[in-house]
Amino acid sequence: MATDSTHISAAWFRISDRTHYFELWPVGSVFGLILTAVWVPPGPSLAVTALLMMAGVLIFSLRSGYTAEQLGLTRPFASAGVIVAAGMLLAGSIVVTGHFWTQVAGAATPVPLHRAWQYAIWAMIQEFILQSFFFLRFEPVFGGKRSVWIAAFLFAIAHVPNPVLTPLSFFGALFFCEMFRRYRNLYPIGVIHALLGLTIAASLPDSLLHHMRVGIGYLMYHH
């Protein structure tokens, strides 16, 4: 009986592992669309790709079976003070660094108010994709701590070839994902993402940022 029980347990874990790995295919599909959108020139193809990507995130999320609590949507104030305080410290370090960097590489570009609001909304959407879509699917396969690094790596890849945003997005995503892993609260993470992004845009040289563009948009940028 012990032998039969062992075989049954081993078979169950193999099935469970296959089930978990199967959950990664939506990540590959959506990430492929993200990279396509990043590298497709502006035009109808870009609009179609972006719509397909957002539709994929929405459909896969609705069909995933994850609860609102697992998605990080039910506790807006859970450990928000810790997340916001840490984010403010990071923003302050960017301001100080930018003060010296702009002396060498040129001025930053002010961010208009309407663009700031648009970016804030986009930051929240990015965090939903990064945490509630990518990280949640990595976690049962790779474990929480490894998933933090894997999700951060994908986030950085989406910012290539921007020499400022690529490394900053990697380290920023490590922070975002670790906060989500610990507290499962998407809202303050989205707020801090917006704060850090706007701080980068307003503090670091636009000669390197190219208006915060990535992919083909970075390469096609002209002053």
Tokens of 95: 């301001």
Does the N-terminal peptide bond of residue 161 adopt cis geometry, omega within 30 degrees of 0?
A: yes
Region 128-138 average pLDDT: 97
Predicted pLDDT of residue 105: 67
- From first CA to last CA, the distance across the chain in angstroms is 74
pLDDT at 121 over 80: yes
Q: CA 23, CA 205: separation in Å to the nearest integer? A: 40
Percent of the chain with pLDDT over 90: 77
Region 130-150 average pLDDT: 96
Using left for φ > 0, alpha for ψ between -120 and 50, and beta otherwise, residue 204 falls in: beta
pLDDT at 66 over 60: yes
Q: What is the pLDDT of residues 25-41, one digit of tens each?
A: 999 999 999 999 999 99
Percent of the chain with pLDDT over 70: 90
Predicted pLDDT of residue 118: 95
Q: CA 60, CA 58: separation in Å to the nearest integer? A: 6
Q: How many residues can be counted in the chain? A: 223
Predicted pLDDT of residue 85: 96
Q: CA 9, CA 5: separation in Å to the nearest integer? A: 6
Predicted pLDDT of residue 103: 75
Helix (H, G, I), strand (E, B) or coil at 78: coil
Predicted pLDDT of residue 137: 95
Single out the residue of 112, 191, 177, 179 nearest to residue 148, CA to CA: 177
Least confident span in 1-5, 86-90, 186-190, 196-200: 1-5
Confidence of residue 222 (pLDDT cuts 50, 70, 90): confident
> What sign has the CA pseudo-torsion 208, 115, 59, 33?
negative
Region 201-211 average pLDDT: 91
Predicted pLDDT of residue 223: 63
CA atoms within 13 A on the CB side of 210: 18
Alpha helices in the chain (DSSP H): 2-22, 25-39, 44-62, 80-105, 113-127, 136-142, 144-157, 165-183, 186-203, 206-209, 215-220
Q: What is the pLDDT of residues 69-119, one digit of tens each?
A: 999 999 999 999 999 999 999 999 999 988 888 776 677 778 888 889 999
Q: What value does the mean pLDDT of the chain take?
A: 89
Per-residue 3-state assignment (H helix, E strand, C coil) for 130-148: HHHHHHHHHHHHHCHHHHH
More confident residue, 53 or 17: 53
